[in-house]
């Protein structure tokens, strides 16, 4: 049972289960980008509510999009169209948006790594990835999310992911 720590027999909380489930994919993304796995896990956790708010496709299947990456006009893969909250002029509004859909979580982590490492919008965040706060602020400045409190929220969740990683090491 993935919800039980094999060494101690202790029941894991949902956040611990999330980190353990996605640690290997985050480690691969770290090797590809230089972005610490905890930063990547923290962003996946924030965007998906620790896996509780995963984006579903029209037929109800999982999009595996843990990062809330939108399907812009250059995206040629599958999509999931859902209602989401966007901040427009600082005001939260419900809008319908298209998000990328993947065949697996591994594909989502690979695409996220590619997006961050290849987009000039996020070069500052990637360059400062050794500082959780600077990384989060760089993503917000690059326009990763419209939430004006995104950097603060992301910093907090990455720090939680770091603690959970240390606990399971």
Instruction: Give the tokens for residue 22.
Output: 């996605």
Closest by Cα among 53, 36, 27, 164 to 109: 27
Residue 5 annotated as catalytic: no
Catalytic residue among 111, 130, 147, 152: 111
Catalytic residue among 1, 81, 86, 107: 86
3-class state of residue 155 by DSSP: helix
Cα distance between residue 67 and residue 105, in whole Å: 10
Instruction: Give the tokens for residue 151.
Output: 């950097």
Per the CB < 8 A criterion, the answer to whether 154 and 139 are in contact is yes
Residue 86 annotated as catalytic: yes
Catalytic residues, by residue number, are 86, 111
């Amino acid at each position: 049972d993935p919800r039980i720590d094999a060494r101690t027999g202790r029941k894991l909380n949902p956040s611990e289960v999330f980190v353990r489930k996605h640690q290997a994919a985050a480690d691969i993304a770290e090797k590809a980008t230089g972005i610490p796995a905890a930063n990547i896990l923290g962003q996946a956790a924030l965007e998906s509510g620790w896996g509780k708010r995963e984006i579903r496709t029209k037929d109800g299947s999982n999009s595996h999009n843990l990062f809330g990456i939108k399907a812009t006009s250059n995206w040629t893969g599958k999509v999931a169209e859902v209602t989401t909250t966007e901040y427009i002029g600082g005001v939260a509004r419900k809008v319908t948006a298209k998000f990328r859909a993947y065949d697996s979580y591994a594909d989502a982590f690979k695409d996220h790594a590619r997006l961050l490492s290849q987009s000039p919008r996020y070069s500052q965040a990637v360059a400062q990835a050794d500082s959780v706060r600077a990384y989060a602020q760089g993503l917000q400045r690059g326009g990763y999310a419209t939430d004006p409190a995104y950097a603060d929220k992301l910093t907090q969740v990455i720090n939680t992911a770091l603690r959970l990683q240390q606990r399971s090491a």
